[in-house]
Amino acid sequence: MKKKLFLILSSLCAFLFLFGNGTIKAEKTYQIGTDVTYPPFEFANKNNQYVGIDIDILKAIAKEENFKVNIKAVGFNAAVQSLQSGQLDGVMAGMAMTDERKVKFDFSDPYYKTGFVMAVAKNSKINSLDDLRGKRVALKTGTAAADYANSLKDKYGFTTVTFDDSDNMYNDVVNGNSVACFEDDPVMQYAIKTGTKLKIVTKPAQGGYYGFAVAKGKNQELLKKFNAGLKKIKANGEYQKIINRYLSTKTVSEQKSAKSSSNSERTFWGLLKQNRQALLQGLGETIYLTIVGIFFATIFGIIVGLLGIVPNKFARGLSTTIIYIFRGMPLLVLALFIYNGLPTLTGVKIPAFIAGVITLTLNEGAYTAAFVKGGIESVDKGQMEAARSLGMPFGKAMRKVILPQGIKLMIPSFVNQFIITLKDTSILSIIGILELTQTGKIIIARNLEGFKVWTIIALIYLIIITLLTWLSNYVQKKMK
């Protein structure tokens, strides 16, 4: 029995040793940023799952090389900035490998060759670059296609306007505000295939290559894994299967069937029904972010506001300075500074949700501090004088006499600030928080129904804000 037990334990140890040093390895998880509004390379499908050429290639490589990826849907500009600040390990977002980008990023082997095309409205008379003189052209911020267009504008005499996402860029051309837009060839073809009312009028020009990017000199192990995995999926045929999945030409019957199916899903009710789960999740994140943000903003605002009324010059000066700085700084700039700027300075990563809460705390807290200070100062000065003449110390007089009257004046402002904070959360989509506005962008990237989706989201905001406004009016009546 002892010999058998010894043999079993020895075999088990040998098994664990071999597999621990061989086939079974600890899987490392990398934080990868992407656009998720750039079909067919990255977008969310109708089940709200991230798919596309880039996403599928990355997951196939991760499977081959035994590592995991956590996809961060932050948008192209935010992804690039977050990679520079160390918030992300890599970026895969249809990113062209330009000389300017190679200065700050290390790229993988190229995984896709592309070219830039010009598209115009279906009924447009613009047929070539020569027809653009004196006209306006729409571009997407930060893209290689935009760089290509900007290199041509002096030669062909056109002006440009930029947008943060493809849907707004396309709509600017469809609505006639701009006469053309520039986009990567496969992206433009996919948009037209899914119903965008544009047509391509130029051949693909200045072909470039897409690459997976990491910060300069960092995450070289991840880069090696990517290159090794890319060779493997090209050799075993998985790469071509992924490309065909998104860019193959369907038969006529398949196209008619898909179009018939998609038409019912493109009505207001169809879009709401199809995306209700994603919209509810986005709304839940918005409300949660608002509640947490207003909670900390209220605490911060009360402290700063009270500092502004104590009989101390330094405390009052500090209160005034804090209110001035954070009330005067645009929320968008503050969010980007906290999420991307601070990690660059400190080397410490800040999760997007935490960065959002800090942003709301500072910005909304500054406004809260201003009306707390104003509410206390609006109480008649004679109240404090009367309390002090009765022998009350400053602190007790403030707590027992002034604050009860001041709070009565502040409560409606607190409710209004809650409404403002709810609306301000939409700006935090810039740092990738998946709240209601960011959810809308992801849905639009899939179906390009910008007007209908934004109408649905606007109605959701309007209903919630209306309910909060009624609450505010009710509180004000009660306080009177």
Average pLDDT over residues 30-43: 85
Please give the residue that has the higher pLDDT: either 5 or 204.
Answer: 204
> What one-character-per-residue DSSP string does 77-115 give?
HHHHHHHHHTS-SEE-SS-B--HHHHHHEEE-S--EEEE
Q: Is the pLDDT of residue 13 over 90?
A: no
Helices 313-328 and 276-307, axial angle in degrees (round to 10): 150
pTM, entire model: 0.67
Per-residue pLDDT band for 23 (boundaries 50, 70, 90) equals very low
Average pLDDT over residues 414-440: 83
SS3 at position 311: coil
Examine domains 24-111+211-247 and 114-207 and report if their fold is the same: yes
Q: Is the pLDDT of residue 16 over 60?
A: no
Kindly report the CA angle at 289 between 292 and 91, in degrees rounded to 5?
130
C-beta atoms surrounding 361 within 10 Å: 22
Token pair belonging to 97: 């490998």
Q: Is the pLDDT of residue 420 over 90?
A: no
Count of helix runs (H) and strand runs (E) in the chain: 21, 13
Q: What gap in Å lies between CA 373 and CA 446, rounded to an integer? A: 48
Q: Tens digits of per-residue pLDDT, 330-344?
A: 998 999 889 888 887
Q: Tens digits of per-residue pLDDT, 198-219?
A: 999 999 887 778 999 999 999 9
Q: Which helix (H) or strand (E) holds 272?
A: helix 268-274
Q: What gap in Å lies between CA 110 and CA 92, rounded to an integer? A: 12
Average pLDDT over residues 79-87: 85
Helices 450-479 and 276-307, axial angle in degrees (round to 10): 40
Predicted local confidence at residue 1, as pLDDT: 54
Per-residue pLDDT band for 15 (boundaries 50, 70, 90) equals very low
Q: Assign a CATH topology to domain 24-111+211-247.
A: D-Maltodextrin-Binding Protein; domain 2 (3.40.190)
Residue ranges of domains in the chain: 24-111+211-247, 114-207, 272-479
- Write the DSSP symbol of residue 378: T
Q: Is the pLDDT of residue 85 over 80?
A: yes
Cα-Cα end-to-end distance for the chain: 88
Please give the residue that has the higher pLDDT: either 367 or 442.
Answer: 367
Q: Tens digits of per-residue pLDDT, 267-299?
A: 778 788 878 888 888 899 999 999 999 999 989
SS3 at position 352: helix
Sign of the CA dihedral 141, 244, 28, 226?
Answer: negative
Q: What percent of the chain has pLDDT over 70?
A: 89
Average pLDDT over residues 450-465: 88
- Phi, psi at 105, each rounded to 5°: -130, 150
Predicted local confidence at residue 18, as pLDDT: 45
Token pair belonging to 302: 């009360």
58 Cβ contact list (under 8 Å, min separation 6): 32, 69, 71, 92, 212
Q: What gap in Å lies between CA 374 and CA 410, rounded to an integer? A: 9
Predicted local confidence at residue 453, as pLDDT: 86
CB 121 within 8 A of CB 171: no
Average pLDDT over residues 118-123: 93
- pLDDT averaged over the chain? 83
Q: What gap in Å lies between CA 299 and CA 281, rounded to an integer? A: 27
Kindly report the CA angle at 50 between 48 and 53, in degrees rounded to 5?
140
Predicted local confidence at residue 258, as pLDDT: 44
Q: Tens digits of per-residue pLDDT, 219-256?
A: 999 999 999 999 999 999 999 999 988 886 553 344 44
Predicted local confidence at residue 423, as pLDDT: 87
C-beta atoms surrounding 196 within 10 Å: 19
- Write the DSSP symbol of residue 50: E
Predicted local confidence at residue 144, as pLDDT: 82
CATH class of 272-479: mainly alpha
Q: What percent of the chain has pLDDT over 90?
A: 32
CA 355 to chain CA centroid, Å, is 12
Predicted local confidence at residue 200, as pLDDT: 94
Distances in Å between the Cα of 244 and the Cα atoms of 40, 241, 346 are 11, 5, 44
Q: Tens digits of per-residue pLDDT, 341-384?
A: 888 788 787 888 899 999 999 999 999 888 888 777 777 777 77
Kindly report the CA angle at 340 between 337 and 346, in degrees rounded to 5?
95
Q: Where are the alpha helices (DSSP H) in 94-251?
A: 99-104, 144-156, 166-174, 185-193, 220-235, 238-247
- How buried is 138 (Cβ within 10 angstroms: 0-12 exposed, 13-18 middle, 19+ buried)? buried
- How buried is 200 (Cβ within 10 angstroms: 0-12 exposed, 13-18 middle, 19+ buried)? middle
Q: What gap in Å lies between CA 186 and CA 94, rounded to an integer? A: 11
Q: Assign a CATH topology to domain 114-207.
A: D-Maltodextrin-Binding Protein; domain 2 (3.40.190)
- Write the DSSP symbol of residue 443: H
Per-residue pLDDT band for 310 (boundaries 50, 70, 90) equals confident
Least confident range from 5-19, 154-168, 352-366, 419-433: namely 5-19
